[in-house]
Chain A
């Protein structure tokens, strides 16, 4: 094809929706997915179709419609192609994991639909093997169709906690406990807002009913204060809302404190193609919104290409509805995590390199005021392989809490923004000429 090429990064609902909308308009579109399958975290498909996890019917319908249309569309799909960033010349770099090489593309436009990442508030022991994110455990369960081995404790805040717990119960294994930090009550105004998107109410009611039947309803106001290894398992210290401390011995701890857009390192220079973000990567609003947002992103690309896009009134309305519902939902949860003042010095903040809260405290109290970049370059916070995705927000808020008056650092000031978005092996650059588009 000789027309403009559009690259869509991310094979979840937002990316697939954007790619389909572009293909419908006759655009040459390539969809790049980092993993071996499409669907994203929300629509992760079972490895074996006979063993699957309980998923809301609306989710199933949504994904089936997208994958059916994709199968007959002109969208080209590249699996196991990891978006590595945009270089200074504006070239889009993809790491082709199948051939262990770098592929460069020069699309006219780029849609970034890389989803969300989970927030996990630091707590002593959160870096131990066996401690996972709630979404991480859920993705593994969706793939295997089996409940995880061993005893599981779920803690943090957010609707994902009860979703995972109920899916575990449906697979025959209730979690040992579900600790929901929030004590915020459901109000009439929240219910009224959720009625605009009633699917959430039905979904929540289904999960809570399942948990009530198995005696695994969340303990509200309770949270984890420490996790230590013990006899090959994990000993978890928890506090309930009345201040009672308790030790529980488990095999896995699943933590979650909300979601963040996964957009680290995606700022582009002057030579970059036209870029639009879509779905949770732009604003965390969930799967239904991602579908609408993908269409809106495609509309923005078409407008940039000078094509008259069909009016996306429906998509804009859907997005507004989901935004209202998510805002109402979020008032029910408490994503603040523990006050760092209550965390001991040995608490690991940087999970990649084991940098501790004590080391951060020492860095901040040593003589000269430390600049945001020095926090990374000297303190090595946000320096490790995840590039600050799991620590930079906490580092920034801790620094802010230690400095009255002066402006708190932004996450982007600490981490910076440059390619590669994720570590890429040097061998990928040198083994084969990084030019040919892969098949």
Chain B
């Protein structure tokens, strides 16, 4: 078992292990809503393979899919708020 570390999601400490993705770590922490999203479509995990873009979060200031991004101790992860058209 790899060492437990933690990253911050919206200021909350989320534990993560070795090769886990940010999406998996958030899910294990019971965090299912990943942002306010747009038009009643909150940020959330859906396809798991980087296709649906529903789990986009900001990782150290850059937007990327939580389901493709390895979790690492010390990361600053934030929900993104999309701009309405």
Contact = CB atoms under 8 A, between A and B. Distances in A.
Nearest to B17: A47
B51 interface: yes
A264 B5 CA distance: 37
B51 A117 contact: yes
A389 B52 contact: yes
B53 interface: yes
A425 B53 contact: no
Contact of B53 (A127, A129, A385): A385
B27 to A, nearest CB: 7
B40 A48 contact: no
A390 B63 contact: no
Nearest to A255: B46
Interface of A: 34-37, 41, 47-48, 50, 80, 82, 97, 100, 115, 117-118, 127-133, 135-140, 143-144, 148-149, 262, 348, 350-355, 380, 384-386, 389-390, 422-423, 425, 427-428
Contact of B52 (A37, A348, A386): A386
B34 to A, nearest CB: 8
A414 B17 CA distance: 42
Given A100-B62, A144-B24, A354-B38, A128 B51 contact: no
Interface majority SS (helix, strand, loop, mixed), chain A: loop
Given A130-B32, A140-B27, A425-B62, A47 B20 contact: yes
Contacts of A148: 27
A35 B68 contact: yes
Given A47-B18, A100-B62, A385 B56 contact: yes
B39 A354 contact: yes
A385 to B, nearest CB: 4
Given A117-B49, A131-B46, A136-B47, A97 B40 contact: no
Contacts of B27: 140, 148-149
Contacts of A137: 48
B64 interface: yes
Which residue of B33, B48, B56, B63 has the most chain A CB atoms within 10 A of its CB atom? B48
A262 B34 CA distance: 25
Contact of A132 (B1, B33, B46, B63): B46
Nearest to B70: A36
Interface of B: 1-2, 17-21, 23-24, 27-28, 30, 32-34, 37-54, 56, 62-64, 67-70, 82, 85
Given A144-B24, A262-B51, A127 B17 contact: no
Contact of B47 (A129, A130, A135, A422): A135
Given A47-B17, A144-B24, A422-B53, 20 more contacts: A35-B68, A36-B19, A41-B49, A48-B17, A100-B62, A128-B42, A132-B45, A133-B46, A135-B48, A136-B67, A139-B48, A139-B67, A140-B45, A144-B28, A148-B27, A149-B27, A350-B39, A351-B46, A354-B41, A425-B63
B53 A423 contact: yes
Contacts of B44: 128-131
Contacts of A82: 50, 68
Contacts of A118: 47
A239 B58 CA distance: 40
A49 to B, nearest CB: 10
B54 A351 contact: yes
Contacts of B46: 131-133, 136, 351
Contacts of A35: 50, 68
B62 A133 contact: no
Contacts of B64: 97
Contact of B42 (A97, A129, A390): A129
B48 A422 contact: no
Nearest to A118: B47
Contacts of B43: 129
A138 B28 CA distance: 15
Contacts of B38: 352-354, 384
25 contacts: A36-B68, A47-B18, A48-B1, A100-B62, A117-B47, A117-B49, A127-B41, A129-B34, A130-B44, A131-B44, A132-B45, A132-B46, A132-B48, A136-B46, A136-B47, A137-B48, A139-B48, A140-B23, A140-B27, A140-B45, A351-B41, A352-B38, A352-B53, A353-B39, A389-B51
Contacts of B39: 348, 350, 353-355
Contacts of A50: 1
Contact of A140 (B18, B24, B32): B24
